[in-house]
């Protein structure tokens, strides 16, 4: 897989994970506000996992670009 395709894949998947985390954060706030603790824990956990995955994927793409001696990551 070429570096451009890898960076494009990492960018779109990271973007999707950030969107998932925003939706999960909304679900967490609604569940916590309505007193449903179980759903709040599930939604909050998914939010944290999605954000961590997005940061790891983006960080991996940046590290890969630095290994290929690119000045800045070319994600989009």
Total structural domains within the chain: 1
| Helix residue spans in the chain (DSSP H) | 3-33, 37-67
Task: Please tell me the predicted confidence (pLDDT) of residue 46.
Answer: 97
41 is a domain residue: yes
Task: Please tell me the predicted confidence (pLDDT) of residue 9.
Answer: 87
In the predicted structure, residue 15 carries a pLDDT above the cut 80: yes
Residue 73 pLDDT grade (very low, low, confident, very high; cuts 50, 70, 90): low
Task: Please tell me the predicted confidence (pLDDT) of residue 44.
Answer: 97
40 is a domain residue: yes
Question: How far apart, in whole angstroms, are the C-alpha atoms of residue 6 and residue 64?
Answer: 9
CA 30 to chain CA centroid, Å, is: 21
Q: Is-contact 30 4, C-beta < 8 A?
A: no
29 is a domain residue: yes
1 is a domain residue: no
Task: Please tell me the predicted confidence (pLDDT) of residue 52.
Answer: 97
Domain membership of residue 59 as a residue range:
20-63
Dihedral over Cα of 63, 68, 69, 73: its sign: negative
45 is a domain residue: yes
């Amino acid at each position: 897989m070429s570096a451009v395709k890898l960076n494009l894949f990492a960018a779109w998947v990271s973007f999707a994970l950030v969107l998932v985390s925003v939706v999960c954060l909304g679900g967490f706030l609604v569940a916590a506000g309505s007193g449903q603790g179980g759903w709040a824990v599930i939604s909050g956990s998914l939010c944290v996992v999605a954000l961590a995955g997005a940061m790891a994927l983006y960080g991996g793409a940046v590290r890969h670009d630095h290994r290929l001696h690119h000045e800045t990551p070319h994600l989009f």
